Amino acid sequence: MYNIVLFGPPGAGKGTQSEKLIQKYGLTHLSTGDLFRKHLGEGTELGLLAKKYMNEGHLVPDEVVIRMVEEKINETKNTEGFIFDGFPRTTAQAEALDEMLAHNGLSISGMIALDVPEETLKIRIKERGKTSNRVDDQDDEKINTRIKVYLDETLPVADYYSKQGKFQKINGVGEIEQIFKDITSVIDSY
Ligand code: AMP
């Protein structure tokens, strides 16, 4: 079983690569951003709560995210493992994830970080914004906030896994297929 954290700033290509990885390895894709957007679309209480944070590019509070992930893990049966995409985004979330998995006799295989320069991220997010219908993909201020939040609050999560000897960084710029190949060689080494 593989439990992989796909890591990187907004616009790094985590969603694109996750889609390919779930097909190759039969993994369950757990994207907290996608889950929140689903709640938002369905107008649930959770969606309404998350909306004000998401639209400004801020993080949804840890306890809300953790509860949602826990539910998703518990309701998923018969999987080859999980790809965590956009989660954990804080050290508290990473600790909670370790606990949840340990509870089920599982652990994280490793974190794979997609390395992409800031200028490229901004270009990619704006391009995605033309079709994504995401309020947070549209204007410079929100995009800048998301990148800043990533640098301030999320980057320490890389240290968390690094200390456990579970961190690997790969180049996230170039052909999608080449990046995919680089990711799969890390996974195949687990
Ligand atoms: P994403 O699709 O991963 O870029 O997430 C979109 C937005 O959802 C983020 O900007 C946050 O507002 C919220 N979000 C997604 N995942 C998390 C998380 N792990 N912790 C806190 N907020 C999150």
CB of 51 within 6 A of ligand 1: the answer is: no
> For position 104, what pLDDT does the model report?
86
Residue closest via CA to ligand 1's atom 5 equals 33
Q: Report residues of the chain scoring pLDDT below 50.
A: none
User: What's this model's pTM, rounded to 2 decimal places?
Assistant: 0.96
133-to-63, 118, 136, 137, 141 alpha-carbon distances in Å: 27, 22, 9, 8, 17
Half-sphere exposure of 89 (CA within 13 A, CB side): 27
CB of 87 within 6 A of ligand 1: the answer is: yes
Q: Are 59 and 31 in contact (CB under 8 A)?
A: no
Summarize pLDDT for 59-107 with one digit per residue, the tens: 999 999 999 999 999 999 889 999 999 999 999 999 999 999 998 899 9
- The domains of the chain, with CATH numbers, are 2-188 (3.40.50.300)
> For position 133, what pLDDT does the model report?
86
